[in-house]
Amino acid sequence: MGYAQNVMAPTWRARRSAALAIKWQLPNSLRTFLPMAGPLPSAPGALTLRQIEVFHAVMLTGSLSEAGRMLSVTQPAVSRVLASAENRLRYPLFERVKGRLHPTPEARRLYAEAEEIFGRVNRFNALAGALGAGSASTVSLVSSPSFSEWLVPHAIQKFRERHPDTPIRYRPLAFDALLPHLLLGQADFGLASMPPPVNANIVSEEIGQGWLGCAVPRGHPLAVRSRLRAEDLQGHLLIGYGADTPFGRLASRFLNSGPTPVQPQIEIRSTPEALALVRQGVGVALIESFGYHPSFGKDFVLLPTDPALGHAIHLLHAASSPLSSSARRFASVLKALIKQAQKSAPY
């Protein structure tokens, strides 16, 4: 009996030759799914993804020919891959009864697992497509508060018109809090009026130019001027920024440019706070040009300064986190708005 078994059982070389013959009869697209690096296993082996795909297609369609159409391959190709799968498993997956394929109990149990696998594959492909279209990833941004009055809200409106399914998370922050948000991955990118420190692991792109102007309430004696010098502010209540803020450092160059330095009587931290006080008629304030929109003109006028107070606008993101496709689309909207606004700049 043992001798008969040895005679009937092919050597591993014979099995390998037969497998290679099968492999090289397959189309090129299928050959890579039948690795032949060593002898065929004598115990049940793991199926390749291609074998699982063919098995799943046969279970779905109920026939080899329909499975071939579904996978865009020939019926013989499906038959060979299915046979190789059964050879690896060492048990049949289908029985042919009156010309029709009937799955075995083992096949029915495996089908439930295959359904889960291909359900996940479909979800993966749907997510991959949505990410490419920018409809699945949230855009998270932070900015200096001065950009929260008009520029960022307008950019969000424009972006949502084109990408209504993309969620947006926005938070205005002081510059010293903005950088940690980027480095800790709490925001995709930020918008600031000054560059980051050289060694901050932050990528900075200059995307436009802004300027500081003087917001003057309508009816104020200075509202009739075409532009303001530092000495023109003498005798008027000035709302200014803390010396440790980006705008505070920029404004100090202007306030110290006259014969006598001008000192703010009210100190604030950001443009929105300054605008709230100007709207109440409390005084005049230096504000960032992108914190102002012509629609605000009913409450106050924005006058350019002499000399001009220009500054760069920086798009920032962590060096370790390149921008997603959705973030890049949002950045493009920002750049377009800034470019358009610069056409009406007084300098």
Q: State pLDDT tens for residues 294-337.
A: 777 788 999 999 988 888 999 999 988 889 888 999 999 999 99
The upper half-sphere exposure of residue 175, i.e. CA atoms within 13 Å in the direction of its Cβ, equals 21
Q: Do 289 and 192 contact (CB within 8 A), yes or no?
A: no
Task: Give yes or no on whether 2-132 and 139-342 have one common fold.
Answer: no
- What residue spans define the domains of the chain? 2-132, 139-342
Find the DSSP H helices in 62-174. Answer: 64-71, 75-89, 105-133, 151-162
| pLDDT at residue 132, rounded to an integer | 64
Q: Which amino acid is at 146?
A: S
Q: What is the mean pLDDT of residues 158-174?
A: 92
Between CA 291 and CA 285 the distance in angstroms is: 12
Pick the CATH number of 139-342 from 3.40.50.920, 3.40.640.10, 3.40.50.2300, 3.40.190.290: 3.40.190.290
Q: Which amino acid is at 3?
A: Y
- Per-residue pLDDT of 229-284, as tens digits, reads 999 999 999 999 888 787 888 888 899 988 999 999 999 988 889 999 999 999 99
| pLDDT at residue 240, rounded to an integer | 92
2-132: which CATH topology? Arc Repressor Mutant, subunit A (1.10.10)
Q: Do 143 and 178 contact (CB within 8 A), yes or no?
A: yes
Q: Which amino acid is at 60?
A: L
The C-alpha torsion from 8 through 11 and 14 to 19, rounded to 10°, is: 100
- Per-residue pLDDT of 110-136, as tens digits, reads 999 998 888 888 778 766 776 665 555
| pLDDT at residue 130, rounded to an integer | 62
Between CA 165 and CA 88 the distance in angstroms is: 46
DSSP run (H or E) holding 212: strand 202-217
